[in-house]
Chains A and B, each alone.
Chain A
Amino acid sequence: MGALQQSKCGRAWDRMTSVPSLLLIEDDDAIRTALELSLTRQGHRVATAATGEDGLKLLGEQRPDLIVLDVMLPGIDGFEVCRRIRRTDQLPIILLTARSDDIDVVVGLESGADDYVVKPVQGRVLDARIRAVLRRGEREANDAATFGSLVIDRAAMTVTKNGEDLQLTPTELRLLLELSRRPGQALSRQQLLRLVWEHDYLGDSRLVDACVQRLRAKVEDVPSSPTLIRTVRGVGYRLDTPQ
């Protein structure tokens, strides 16, 4: 189980400069096989693991671009896997939740997932989410912006605070970039969902809230009383230059 498989499908190759490699951690054989089949046809290289432990081991051997993680796993569950990965790595993670029960979603987002998809998932939807997450790491502009002690280098795609590099996930980085592009202007959760997550009009605003919490924990001096990323009641969030 679990060697990285080379995609045999060539259709997507024309569009992509490099083939994204995914790690799919899913315990149910049928779903694993079916999703592997579907994602491979969409043009991804897919490695699979049946348990969280196997997934973490595989992650140490070969680094994928993105992880698709089932929540309900035997042994350590998806949330725990997510937390363990986040301790050392900023890899994008998409959760595959069998239940769209709200508590699952909230716990998943708190444990550091970038996005989530509810089963039964359509391959196309999952593919679109994967591509959206992967796009977040792409560079676009060549300038820098400074917010107090925070320096955002858009060319290098790095963020430093007091000269120290901050470890941000691509989603956190993208959120910060979108906010920093419009300093002092409030962006609604729906706007941020479209800009950062590329979700349609039904995006889940809790994605934004959870990501803002994680970002604040990294960039703010005192995360509980933020001075950079401010909440605008009834609207959304805004990036301010501290006085």
Chain B
Amino acid sequence: MTKPQDKLRGLPAARKALLAGLRFTSLRLRLVVVFGLVALTAAVSASGIAYWLNREAVLTRAQDAALKDFRQQMQTRAGALRADATQEELQAAAGQMANSSQGYSVLLVAEKKGGGRIVGYSDLDAFTLAKVPGSLQKAVLKKQELTSGNDSPYHLYWQRTVDHGTPYLVGGATVIGGGPTGYMLKSLEPEAKDLSSLGWSLAIATALALIGSALLAQAAATTVLKPVHRLGVAARRLGEGKLDTRLRVSGTDELADLSRTFNRTAENLEKKVADMSARDEASRRFVADMSHELRTPLTAITAVTEVLEEELDAETGSVDPMIEPAVRLVVSETRRLGDLVENLMEVTRFDAGTARLVLDDVDIADQITACIDARAWLDAVELDAERGITARLDPRRLDVILANLIGNALKHGGSPVEVSVRLEDAKLVISVRDHGPGIPEDVLPHVFDRFYKASASRPRSEGSGLGLSIALENAHIHGGDISAANCPDGGAVFTLWLPCESESEVGCQATEVPAEGGQA
């Protein structure tokens, strides 16, 4: 029976926990983000530097080897050509040069005497003069000043270009002392491929580092959050009044310190609450014992005062007229004292939680009529209740509530007092209304307080000062309540609610009045 309920209750709880976990401000998410950022920065900068260094090293090596070879070839092959070499000779030299191990294409350009030039190429499809940047051609052909730092008039120049997405190395040199100008074109694609696979592996490594950091962050968050969560649960339990809640302390870190502090606090709180409740218990015990002890002499006095009372009422006049007022005072004050002790006993029973309900099926209208009849209030009370509303409740306690509410209304508002009964949303609602001056606003919150007097200077009233408080306690023990308010058109109104679910133990229903056949 409980399992499906738990499950039902578990679902929203799980969703809530999930939402809390995803909340941006949650510690877990923040930790993951920070860990991720650190890992990302570290991985990206490390791979970036590694990639860049590798790239330079690889490219420079390939380039140096190619240019060195090209220089040699220029010296041996192009330098060996005659100054007026034909196009075929240039072509042959270019082919030979391109045949070297470095695998580049060669273009040899020679100035013809009397203007024009001839071009020898190793591979016309791959390499034409159009592919040589103009700035490189200019630099190669430019004659340099001879200085101490520069011992030759022409230099070897190179440049990296990209053509259709393929990186190329273009180099150019001219033979010193007259000769053809040579250009070389080497594809750097293998190197680029190597570099791109290096880049990929570095990216994968970065991604792995990110995932690792997220997992680490989760683990770190768990190690931090678990104790925090335990602490939160413990604090909540403490707040719910389970003062014996303690945390298991392990380790020596800050969280363990916090747990120790929590335990100490809970211990102190428990001790303090225990002290207070012991003191409270003692004072309640005292009141209970005292009213018990008062009861024994009161029983004797009450029994005897009746004898005195009868003497007063007797026509024989056996009491000395001089002491008659004294006897009357003793009789009336004894009755008051009896009521007070009775009320005190009632209050101590509520405080000690020993008050019990003696339930019976009660016709509400009958009960109210009997209550006001027994106190000779029939003329002062206007009852508006339909017969046939029965409720399962403690008739004595209902009588106490009604007597206190109606008695209070009569005392402060005078007659008539209006009492109405109705059923409202499975609740029995009884309202008691007077036409007096109403309750002052500053008194209203305190009307149910024990021994509360509207003003200190007010003379002591007829009541014990416990009546309304006892009425309220009696309503509470039924699971009901009483509220006090002022009517907009004057007078105070006290409203009593009593629960009446028909399935529960305290229930009520409106039924046909059963025939009371044969009753005398």
Could you tell me which A residues sit within 8 Å of B by CB distance?
A: 28, 30-31, 33-35, 37-38, 41, 98-102, 119-124, 181-182, 185, 188-191, 195, 200-202, 204-206, 234-235
Q: Which residues in A have their C-beta under 8 angstroms from that of B374? A: 200-201
**Complex contacts, B518 vs chain A, CB 8 Å:** 181-182, 185
B396 neighbours in A (Cβ, 8 Å): 202, 204
Chain A residues, Cβ within 8 Å of B367: 201
For A33, the chain B residues whose CB sits under 8 A away are 300
Query: Is B117 interfacial (CB 8 A cutoff)?
Result: no
9 further A-B contacts with Cβ under 8 Å, apart from A102-B354, A195-B520, are: A28-B299, A30-B296, A34-B304, A35-B299, A38-B303, A121-B303, A201-B370, A201-B371, A201-B395
27 contacts between A and B (CB under 8 A): A28-B296, A28-B299, A34-B301, A34-B302, A34-B303, A35-B300, A41-B307, A41-B310, A98-B292, A98-B295, A102-B354, A119-B295, A120-B302, A121-B303, A122-B302, A122-B306, A123-B302, A123-B307, A181-B518, A190-B362, A190-B395, A191-B519, A201-B370, A201-B395, A205-B360, A205-B395, A234-B392
Indicate if the CB atoms of B306 and A124 lie closer than 8 Å.
Answer: yes
Contact with B306, one of A31, A38, A195 (Cβ below 8 angstroms): A38
A195 and B520 alpha carbons, distance in the complex (Å)? 8
Contact pick for B361, options A119, A182, A204, A234, CB 8 Å: A234
* Residue in A98, A121, A234 whose CB lies within 8 Å of B302: A121
Distance, CA A101 to CA B350, complexed state (A) = 11
B341 at the interface (CB under 8 A from A): yes
Complex CA distance for A202 and B519, rounded to whole angstroms: 18
Residue ID in chain A nearest B517 by CB atoms: A185
Asked if B167 lies at the interface with its beta carbon under 8 angstroms from chain A, I say no
Q: Assess the B399–A28 pair: CB atoms within 8 A.
A: no
Q: Which residues of A contact B297 (CB under 8 A)?
A: 30
Judge whether A206 and B304 touch: CB under 8 Å: no
In the complex, whether B358 has a CB less than 8 A from a CB of chain A is yes
Task: Assess A101 versus B349: contact at CB under 8 Å? Given A195-B520, A202-B399, A234-B361.
Answer: yes
| Chain B residues engaging chain A, CB cutoff 8 angstroms | 292, 295-304, 306-307, 310, 338, 341-342, 345, 349, 354, 356, 358-362, 366-367, 370-371, 374, 392, 395-396, 399, 514, 516-520
Instruction: Name the one of B295, B303, B349, B520 contacting A35, with C-beta atoms under 8 angstroms.
Output: B303
Alpha-carbon gap, A57 to B296, bound state (A): 25
The distance in angstroms between the C-alpha atoms of A121 and B299, with both chains bound, is 6
Min CB gap B397→A, angstroms: 10
Nearest CB in chain B: distance from A212 CB, A:
14
In the complex, what residues of B have CB within 8 A of residue A235's CB?
361, 514
Tell me, in angstroms, the Cα distance from A79 to B345 when the chains sit together: 22
A38 to B305 alpha-carbon distance, docked (Å): 9
Give the docked Cα–Cα distance between A133 and B298 (Å): 25
- Verify B360–A190 contact, CB threshold 8 A: yes
B296 and A102 within 8 A (CB): no
Beyond A200-B370, A201-B366, A201-B367, whether A189 also contacts B299 by CB under 8 A is no
Contacts of A195 in B (CB 8 A): 519-520
Interchain residue pairs A-B with the least CB separation, the first 9 = A201-B370, A30-B300, A34-B303, A120-B299, A34-B300, A120-B298, A102-B356, A205-B360, A38-B303
In the complex, chain A residues whose CB is within 8 Å of the CB of B360: 189-190, 205
Which A-chain residue is minimally distant from B399 (CB atoms)?
Answer: A202
Which of A28, A35, A185, A204 has a CB less than 8 Å from the CB of B358?
A: A204
A213 to B371, CA, bound (A): 30
Residues of B with C-beta under 8 A to A123: 302-303, 306-307
Q: A185-B518, A195-B520, A201-B367 are in contact. Are A120 and B341 (CB under 8 A)?
A: yes
Expressed in whole angstroms, the Cα–Cα distance for A99 and B361 within the complex equals 25
Across the interface, B345 reaches (CB within 8 A) one of A38, A100, A234, namely: A100
Taking CB atoms, residues of chain A closer than 8 Å to B345 are 100
B310: chain A residues within 8 A (beta carbon): 41
Q: A99 to B345, alpha carbons, bound, how many Å? A: 9
Contacts of B302 in A (CB 8 A): 34, 120-123
When the two chains form their complex, are residues A205 and B304 in contact, meaning their CB atoms are under 8 A apart? no
Evaluate contact between A37 and B366: CB separation under 8 angstroms: no
Residues from chain B with a CB closer than 8 A to the CB of A120 are 295, 298-299, 301-303, 338, 341-342
Q: Which residue of A lies closest to B366 (CB)?
A: A201
CB distance from A235 to the nearest CB of B (A): 7
B307 with A38: CB separation less than 8 A: yes
Contact between B299 and A119 (Cβ–Cβ < 8 Å)?
yes
Distance of A123 Cα from B300 Cα, bound (Å): 10
Per the bound structure, the CA–CA distance linking A36 and B395 in Å amounts to: 32
Cα A38 to Cα B399 with chains together (Å): 28
- What residues on A are CB-neighbors of B392 within 8 Å? 234
User: Is A38 touching B362 in the complex (CB atoms < 8 A)?
Assistant: no
Complex CA–CA separation, A191 to B517 (angstroms): 11
Instruction: Report chain A residues within 8 Å CB of B303.
Output: 31, 34-35, 37-38, 120-123
* CB pair B358 A31 closer than 8 Å: no
What's the Cα separation between A181 and B517 when bound, in Å? 11
Give the complex CA separation of A102 and B355 in angstroms. Answer: 8
Q: From residue B272, how far is it (CB to closest CB) to chain A in Å?
A: 31
Please state if B296 and A119 are interface contacts (CB–CB under 8 Å).
Answer: yes
If A120-B295, A181-B518, A201-B370 touch, does A37 touch B361 (CB 8 Å cutoff)?
no
How close is B134's CB to chain A, nearest CB, in angstroms? 113
Q: Residues of A contacting B514 with CB < 8 Å?
A: 235
User: Nearest-CB distance from B477 to chain A (Å)?
Assistant: 12
Give CA–CA (A147, B300) in the complex, Å.
47
